[in-house]
Amino acid sequence: MLNKIQELKGAIEALQASSMEEIEAARIKYLSKKGEISQLFNDFRNVPNEMKREIGQRLNELKTLATEKINSLKAAFEDNADANAELDLTRTAAPCAIGTRHPLSLVKEEIIAIFSRLGYTIAEGPEVEDDWHVFSSLNFAADHPARDMQDTFFIQRNPDILLRTHTSSVQTRVMEHTQPPIRIICPGRVYRNEAISYRAHCFFHQVEGLYVDKGVTFADLKQTLLYFAREMFGPETKIRLRPSYFPFTEPSAEMDISCDLCGGKGCNFCKHTGWVEILGCGMVDPNVLESCGIDSNVYSGFALGMGIERITNLKYRVKDLRMFSENDVRFLEEFKPVH
């Protein structure tokens, strides 16, 4: 009898079931009136008196074990069934917090969209560049101050490998492999060895524009700039071009737009001039075309370059440049689209 109890105990402990029917079958097998455990209770009568105490105790333990096992199998099975029943595939998904686009990306996309409408396509180039693409091909004299260690980050003290200081390098990247017509805009990150403050950072973002074809004139540049300014800052925006100097353009200019904060009357933001500077531009210097293998007697072009941070500041009045790279979600959430 003890052996039989031991054998049933092992079988019950190992019991598993994959359906309610199997559990019910196990209950009948062990616990019903004609089940194996009930059978043992019937046989108990024939157990010699001196063993009744021990065997009785074991039998009771076996019955408790079987009852608990069957109950726990049932409970586990019902839990599973509940979980399955709750899986409603048509239910609306739980809300999840989605991120926001970075203000610099928003403005970059807007600049790209405006120039795309004029037929410009995006061109990109590497951030780790060589002297030729960043400086020499763009007509920078060998002793030009922009090559100074102050401004440029060099890679491993190699004066030829550096982090680009402007996206004008992408002009060369495109022109050395493509003959006109060329109409590109080049967004990207640039690096300068500047002390970080609220108004300067060691990296920032620019968009370069380049248009080279037969018969491109300064009038085309002006019209393009006016279109851009009005699309970006509103139809009332005025532009003004001031003569300037860049090695890669001749003539060169800087463009101001009318200050939309004071409507041109003069305020702190525009330093009481009514105008704020937003970009540099000019007619591509023939030396630059020639250094890229484009015949400057046949083709002419214009180029322009602007800082995305600057445009973003104008649109959103961000007072401290460092906010752009600190990833403070409270700042980023301010740019959540309003639905």
Task: List contacts with ligand DAH (CB under 6 A).
Answer: 166, 168, 208, 246, 249, 280-282, 303-305
Smallest distance, Å, CB 250 to ligand DAH?
10
Which of 163, 227, 168, 188 shows the shortest CA–CA distance to 308?
A: 188
User: Crossing angle, helix 20-31 and helix 49-86, to 10 degrees?
Assistant: 170
**Tally: H helices and E strands in the chain:** 12, 10
Smallest distance, Å, CB 254 to ligand DAH?
8
> With respect to ligand DAH, which residue has the nearer C-beta, 26 or 107?
107
> With respect to ligand DAH, which residue has the nearer C-beta, 66 or 216?
216
* Percent helix, percent strand, percent coil in the chain, to nearest 5: 45, 20, 35
**Owner of token pair 């968009």:** 207
Q: Which residue is nearest to ligand DAH (CB)?
A: 305
SS3 241: strand
> With respect to ligand DAH, which residue has the nearer C-beta, 70 or 304?
304
Measured over all CA atoms, what is the biggest interatomic distance in the chain, rounded to whole angstroms?
124
Report the C-alpha gap between 121 and 209 in whole angstroms: 10
Question: Taking the CB of residue 194, how many other CB atoms lie within 10 A of it?
Answer: 14
- Sequence-distant (6+) residues with CB within 8 A of 17 are 23, 26, 73, 77
> With respect to ligand DAH, which residue has the nearer C-beta, 89 or 219?
219
Contact 80, 44 (CB under 8 A): no
> With respect to ligand DAH, which residue has the nearer C-beta, 27 or 166?
166
> With respect to ligand DAH, which residue has the nearer C-beta, 138 or 318?
138
Smallest distance, Å, CB 305 to ligand DAH?
2
Smallest distance, Å, CB 230 to ligand DAH?
20
